[in-house]
Each structure stands twice: as C-alpha cells, then as structure tokens.
C-alpha cells in the first residue's frame, strides 16, 4: 500500500479494499521501522492518528468521504496543532504544546485526513539542508550520507521513503522545492497569499508560504484543494475564488509557451544536472510546447536581497521568544535582562542567531536605507522581470537546485555556499509567484528536480504542466531501494 498515491488510496478506501485504520497502522509500522535512521519525524502522534482514522472510517461507511478522508499525512512541525507539541525544530519551543490549530491543520481535519505526526525541519525554517534542527539532521533516503535539503527536509524525506503518502511544508526561499528536488518527489509552493499563514510560526512574513510534498502533481492538486482559500484571520490571505485544481490536469500542452531564463543555465550549474533538465525540457517539446529563451536580468541579485529581507523580518518575528510568555526559559535568572539574554542565547541555535543579528543590523538606524530599503527596491525589479517574462510565456522552467544532494556536513561551515543552494528558487518568493519542482532524472544516482514557475494564482496551469510530464515519464514513481 505504501507505494500508492493519494488518488489510488482514496479509490481503495472508497471500494473497501482496506480501511483507514488498516492504512494508518501500515504507515505507522513503516515509520517505526525506518524513521530511527532517517530522523524525518520530531513527533509521531500514533494515538491521535488512530482516533482520526476510526472517525474517517465511520464517515466513509456513510458515503460522505471527500478525496482526503482517511488519508494519512504528515505535517511540518511549523504548524500549530492543538494539544500536540509544535517545536519549529528548536530548543526554544521544545516544551510548547499549541493551544489551537493553524488554519492549514484545521482544513485537513475538516477534510477527514489522518495526521501521522510532525516532521523535522531546520530550526525556525532557517536552512537548506535540515542540519540546523535541535533534534538532529534528517537523512536523504536516496543516500543517507547526504542531506535531504531544507528547511522542510523531514517532510520531503518522509514522502520519498514512503513513510507517508504526502506531507506539508513551507517555502520561504525554496524550502519546499529544493528538498523536493533533492529527494526525488513533487513539491508545490503556491502563490503568496493563496494558503493561510494563520498558526504557521513565522520566519519571514512577506515570503513564507505553505505548500505540499507528494508523489504526483495530481496528489498536489488534491492537497491544494483542501489548503487554499481566504482566511480572515490572516491579513496576507488573498480573497480570491479557489478553482478545482484537478479540473485542468488532462489538458494537452500543444502551444504552451515555456520560457528558459538564460541566467539559470550558466555558471554555477552542475553540468550533469543541466543535461538532465534539458532532456526534460526536450520532452515538453515533443508534447507540442514552444521553447522560448528569456532573460531575468536581476535574478543574480535575488540571493543578496533575500539575505537582507528575510533576516530583517526574522529578527522582528523572533523577538517574541524572550523566556517570558512561552517556550524555553533559562534557569535561575538574576534579573529581567539576564532572563532575556540567557533564554535567547541558550534557546536559539547558531544559524538562527546569525540571521537575527544580520537582520537587526540591517534594520538599525543608519543602515536601514543602505540595506533593507535597497533590498526592497531590488525585490521590485525582480518582480518586474517576471511580469515582463510572463507577457511572452505561459510558464518558466529551469533547474530547481544547482546540484544534487550534497554530503551532510559539507557546507555546514560555509554559510554563503549553503545559501547559494537556493539560487534558482529565491526569486519566486521575492516576487510572490507559485513554483513547483518535479523529479526529472538522476545524476550520480541522486534525483534531479525540474522547476516550473507560473504566473500569479496560475497553480492550475502549473499542475497541468507537471501532470502531463508525469504521464510520459516515470521518475516520480521511483522509490529508493531500501524503502521499496
């Protein structure tokens, strides 16, 4: 059962081939068997999952099931979950039991899905390798000596090893698409504002967006049907009608205009990765798509702009973790200043401290105009580049990551090298656009991801483009040998 997609499992549940409880127990057994090595989960909520599964079986028996009723899913440990520990991968929140559900969790509960647990992640979503978690690094199922990508590495690894059929993640600068590419699965980051951020612990509020990890684009559409929508509790949520994302999956791609940014195929891209991506684009040509070279002239500025804006917002968002109201508190503080200093000093890891300090500096008097304001102006230029490109093309394609999964520890001592892992993904977050990564081949026996970027709120087209590719290739059904 573990190799089936959400769509296949939903059909099996409807026909009575198996119950949600049987399905849930099967995946719990796989988590128990394989996760001690992978470390993809922080919390496994076995009792909670079985309770939800039994409730789902009752709904299915009455004939009231939705597409996700009874389907086991994992949630990134950044979404507040009522009564269950929500840590954000940090010592700071190691003792935090959320008193409410985030909107994303609430939507999945209402759809009748089964939450298997909370997945490991880079601390406060800051990282590209899932090595900054207080709970230890996650291993890539394709090669346990390599990283799964980050920050949503636990969610990606769990789906790649088929410990769950699907999971959620968040993407601030590539944190869904990059781990999806490194783990050989399908990852979707929707348009900023398409999915509510209420109850999603904030890293950089103008960039964070929740999304999905699945085996297929069809499963991504089923997940997004549940997640998307306006939420009055989230001031960044966009009040726009939500289509049925499965409706256009089977449209043919004849006449589709695909833009290839020349900046994404130059220096810094591994030659083997480039070859695999070019072969994937050739497949689209066979399906009747038109390939057009485009330019995103300011894309080279996306990494420096992002690493001013994101730390600035994180330094503001993380100021609430002070040892007073909730979360970690140091022992026997001498006074209030000592409480603040030691609680934050002991509760945060090195990467989080690094970004808080960069952000505080960029926002400080005398430097705000030189750094933060300038970065926001560059962000506007990057957004304009995309707007001009979408006047000529329907989607933009290129590599998701400049290389395949790298060895654990290889970049830990070199933050700049680590930051460059997201060089092809960051610009879409700065512009607020939707993006996907789909598996398109292998290099050195490790997966390669093809990135597809769409126009604002054009997720239906993205999913259609990805689905049609997956009808003619089988990269998305490959499972690492150890987990078959």
Q: In the block, which residue shows the tokens 């935090």?
A: 96
Which entry of 113, 175, 315, 343 is annotated as an active-site residue?
175
Among this protein's residues, is 175 annotated catalytic?
yes
Among this protein's residues, is 383 annotated catalytic?
no
Distance CA 322, CA 329 (A): 8
Among this protein's residues, is 257 annotated catalytic?
no
Distance CA 76, CA 72 (A): 14
Helix (H) or strand (E) holding 314: helix 302-317
Which entry of 102, 151, 220, 437 is annotated as an active-site residue?
151
Q: Transcribe 54-122 into DSSP letters.
A: HHHHHHHHTT---TTTT-EEEEETTB-BTTBB--TTSGGGTT-B-SS--HHHHHHHHHT-EEEEEE--S
Measured in degrees and rounded to the nearest 5, phi and psi for residue 458 equal -105, 40
Question: Would you state the structure tokens that stand for residue 79, as one six-digit string?
Answer: 């979404």
Give, in degrees to the nearest 5, the angle at Cα 242 between 236 and 245: 120
Q: In what order do the strands lie in the sheet with 446-453?
A: 41-44, 114-119, 72-76, 167-171, 209-214, 186-189, 435-443, 446-453, 395-399, 257-261, 290-294
Helices 459-472 and 217-227 cross at an angle (nearest 10°) of 160
How many of the other CB atoms lie within 10 Å of CB of 446? 20
Measured in whole angstroms, the distance separating CA 305 from the mean position of its chain's CA atoms is 21
SS3 416: helix
Number of helices (H) and strands (E), helices first, in the chain? Answer: 15, 11
Which entry of 19, 45, 76, 90 is annotated as an active-site residue?
76
Q: Which residues are catalytic, by number?
A: 76, 151, 175
């Amino acid at each position: 059962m573990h190799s089936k997609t959400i769509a296949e499992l939903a059909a099996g549940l409807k026909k009575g081939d198996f119950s949600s409880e049987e399905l849930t127990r099967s995946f719990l057994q796989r988590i128990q068997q394989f996760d001690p090595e992978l470390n993809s989960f922080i919390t496994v909520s076995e009792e909670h999952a079985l309770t939800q599964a039994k409730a789902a079986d009752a709904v299915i028996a009455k004939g009231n099931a939705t597409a996700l009723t009874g389907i086991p899913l994992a949630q990134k440990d950044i979404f507040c979950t009522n009564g269950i520990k929500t840590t954000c991968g940090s010592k700071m929140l190691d003792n935090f039991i959320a008193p409410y559900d985030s909107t994303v969790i609430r939507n999945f509960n209402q759809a009748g899905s089964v939450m298997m647990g909370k997945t490991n992640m880079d601390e406060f979503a800051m990282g590209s390798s899932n090595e900054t978690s207080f709970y230890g690094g996650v291993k890539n199922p394709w090669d346990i000596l390599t990283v799964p990508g980050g920050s949503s590495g636990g969610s990606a690894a769990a789906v790649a090893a088929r410990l769950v059929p699907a999971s959620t993640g968040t993407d601030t600068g590539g944190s869904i698409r990059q781990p999806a590419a490194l783990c050989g699965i399908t990852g979707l980051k929707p348009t900023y504002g398409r999915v509510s951020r209420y109850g999603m612990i904030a890293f950089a509020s103008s960039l964070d967006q929740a999304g999905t990890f699945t085996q297929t684009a069809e499963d991504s559409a089923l997940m997004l049907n549940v997640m998307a929508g306006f939420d009055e509790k989230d001031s960044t949520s966009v009040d726009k009608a939500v289509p049925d994302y499965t409706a256009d999956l089977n449209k043919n791609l004849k006449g589709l205009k695909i833009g290839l940014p020349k900046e994404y195929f130059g220096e810094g891209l591994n030659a083997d990765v480039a070859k695999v991506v070019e072969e994937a684009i050739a497949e689209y040509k066979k399906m009747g798509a038109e390939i057009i070279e485009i330019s995103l002239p300011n894309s080279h500025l996306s990494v420096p702009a992002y690493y001013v804006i994101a730390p600035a917002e994180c330094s503001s968002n993380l100021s609430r973790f002070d040892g007073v109201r909730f979360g970690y508190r140091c022992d026997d503080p001498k006074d209030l200043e000592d409480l603040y200093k030691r609680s934050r000093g002991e509760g945060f890891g090195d990467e989080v401290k690094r970004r808080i300090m960069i952000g505080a500096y960029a926002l400080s008097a005398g430097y705000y105009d030189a750094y933060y304001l300038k970065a926001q102006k560059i962000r506007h230029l990057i957004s304009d580049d995309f707007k001009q490109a979408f006047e000529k093309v329907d989607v933009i394609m290129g590599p998701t990551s400049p290389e395949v999964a790298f060895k654990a520890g290889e970049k830990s001592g070199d933050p700049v090298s680590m930051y460059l892992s997201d060089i092809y993904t960051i610009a879409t977050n700065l512009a607020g656009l939707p993006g996907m990564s789909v598996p398109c081949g292998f290099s050195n026996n490790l997966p390669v991801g093809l990135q597809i970027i769409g126009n604002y709120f054009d997720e239906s087209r993205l999913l259609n483009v990805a689905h049609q590719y997956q009808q003619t290739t089988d990269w998305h059904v490959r499972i690492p040998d150890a987990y078959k």
